[in-house]
Structure 1
Amino acid sequence: MSGTELVRECQGGSERPCSGNGHCSGDGSRQGDGSCQCHLGYRGALCTDCVDGYFSSLRNETHSVCTACDESCKACTGPTNRDCSQCEVGWVEEDGACVDVDECAADVFPCSDQQYCENTSGSFQCEECDSTCVGCTGKGPGHCKECVPGYSKESGQCTDIDECSLAEKACTRTNENCYNTPGSYVCVCPEGFEETEDACVQMQPAGDEVTEGNPTQPPSREDL
């Protein structure tokens, strides 16, 4: 860089560059052009004007202060939702104020069948129903419209049915054990039993089987 190149002076002077609402490009050195890079909420060559979403809460010959509008305002003249000159997306003007739109109460439900809707400021969220629900109106098994198979409504919420404790036996084979599981059950033969089509049959201990060629079997009278 040439030594004869001029230093770019900061906008607003070196004592209060950018009106105190930004910083100077290059900070008055040869590295920048001296322009202002404004802080959040400010704009203009000297950072004295307010951007949308902010209003001028103080302005005189030496100072300019921009303050954030209420979240419901896209543009405003003061700090409340009644000072909006334009409502933000998700809010509507009602009785002189910007109020939140409840998207969850719309004629067309915005979420899927297995979700419930939660209204938020200026928007909404779709949350998954509890796994025990077939449709729901809120969080948890207490807000199910209906229950999935294997569950039934008890005290207002979907609760697992213990099929193993029902009067009508769930496991019908002889000697078969029933074990309840979430939403279902399993039928299992006890240890030492083997599964057949209609029963659990006790297995013979190894070595106790009597066969025709078993040398431990005593000979018959005819063989003597």
Structure 2
Amino acid sequence: MLSTGPLQLRLLSCVTILLVFHAVVAKKDLKSACSTCRQITDNFNKGFDRTAKQNFGGGNTAWEERKLSKYETSEIRLVEILEELCESSSFECNQMVEENEELFETWWFKRKTKNPDLHKWFCVETLKVCCPKGTFGPDCTACVGGSEKPCHGRGACDGDGTRGGNGKCSCDHGYKGDHCLDCTDGFFNAERNDTFSLCAECHAACKTCDGASSQDCDECKEGWEEDDQEACVDVNECARDPSPCKEEEYCLNSEGSYSCKACDEACSGCSGAGSDECQACANGYRHVEGSCKDIDECSEPEAVCTQEHQECLNTHGSYRCLCSAGFQDQDGECVQTQDQDQTEEPGSPDAAENSHGEL
């Protein structure tokens, strides 16, 4: 239960709690303590929103507010919020709430109107486990670039808003340096002064540059080369002899690179996608009207399945010799089965395949 003692006793209790708490915090990770405190105040704000339209639960809100008090500013509402601040498994969070319960009551009843920002009042000004935004470390030192614009607005200050960290900047993508005012490779300073930098991306051809076009490259990226106008242009790797791709692949050029793609199955070597880009036709295919087409060996004048009771089945680039219905393969010959009424279709699972007919 929350204390309801005299004001002097409550203030003395608050001072005692603060002294004990700071002795504990001095031995802990200040950055972690601030993180816990921020979690608590964030959850408090969520609880405040969650209970905004609730009442005492009796159903007669007008009577409750007339006889008891307004639920909006009641101790009951405060207790309901405090009970939901921490997960049961979070020791540090529960400890911080328990040790500072009276401070929450003080803020709730006496400080909330003039100090609506609970995090600032509780974590920064009262417990002093956090720093104001844009500052870091035990003394809340201003980050590089100033507390209003840490890292000149181009990065994150280590320990920002906590009593920990070293204030070093982690720069945003495209920026580098202690102050995040310089540009990384692939970017250039479109604007720059002592407190502001705007890094814009180089042309895709440039590794480094001093402008936006391919003629502003200081150095070309791999896959690009300088032309007579001192601009970086794409290298067409596919025009090289020999080709960078394997025999059964064709080369596809792209800006700054290339890729190797598999030829169509009808081709033996190719210059592009499809059976009309074959350099020669693969076995089982022949050149017909500009592209390589499958040879239907089963329709050729010269029979390919010559055994008695055999039938021919065409496949892509080849064929198969199968025993007719009612026959099965035995040692390379199609022998009639015992069930003479069997009517299997050629190519069915029970039809035997003549492996000697495979091309």
Query: 2:343 matched to which residue of 1?
Result: none
**Secondary structure of the corresponding residue to residue 180 of structure 1:** strand
Matched, 1:147 2:255: no
Per-residue CA deviation, residues 169-196 of structure 1 (Å, 9 max, x unaligned), is 2222344321111111122232124568
Per-residue CA deviation, residues 92-135 of structure 1 (Å, 9 max, x unaligned), is 11122100111111233211111111112112112222222211
Alignment of 1:165-204 (within 5 A): 165-193=299-327
Q: 1:115·1:129 contact (CA, 8 Å) conserved in 2?
A: yes
Aligned counterparts of 2:243 and 2:262: Cα–Cα separation in 1: 14
Moved over 4 A (4+): 194-206
Give the strand-richer structure, 1 or 2. Answer: 1
Query: 2:233 matched to which residue of 1?
Result: 99
For normalisation by structure 1, the TM-score amounts to 0.82
Change over 3 Å in CA distance of 1:24–1:169 after alignment to 2: same
Amino acid at match of 2:225: V
- CA-based RMSD of the aligned residues comes to 2.5
Query: 2:265 matched to which residue of 1?
Result: 131
Change over 3 Å in CA distance of 1:71–1:98 after alignment to 2: same
Aligned counterparts of 1:127 and 1:27: Cα–Cα separation in 2: 51
Q: 1:25·1:32 contact (CA, 8 Å) conserved in 2?
A: yes
**Secondary structure of the corresponding residue to residue 82 of structure 1:** helix
Amino acid at match of 1:9: A
Q: CA deviation at 1:51?
A: 1.4
Aligned counterparts of 2:218 and 2:279: Cα–Cα separation in 1: 43
Q: CA deviation at 1:156?
A: 2.0
Per-residue CA deviation, residues 4-57 of structure 1 (Å, 9 max, x unaligned), is 943343111111111111111111422211111110111122111111211111
**Secondary structure of the corresponding residue to residue 187 of structure 1:** strand
Query: 2:295 matched to which residue of 1?
Result: 161
Change over 3 Å in CA distance of 1:165–1:39 after alignment to 2: same
Q: 2:145·2:195 contact (CA, 8 Å) conserved in 1?
A: no
Q: Give percent identity, aligned residues only.
A: 47
Deviates more, 1:174-183 or 1:93-102: 174-183
For normalisation by structure 2, the TM-score amounts to 0.53
Matched, 1:44 2:177: yes
Matched, 1:67 2:191: no
Give 5+ residue unaligned stretches, structure 2: 1-24, 27-127, 129-136, 341-359
Give the helix-richer structure, 1 or 2. Answer: 2
Query: 1:21 matched to which residue of 2?
Result: 154
Alignment of 1:76-91 (within 5 A): 76-91=209-224
**Alignment length (residue pairs):** 206
Amino acid at match of 1:19: H
Give 5+ residue unaligned stretches, structure 1: 207-224
Aligned counterparts of 1:10 and 1:184: Cα–Cα separation in 2: 74
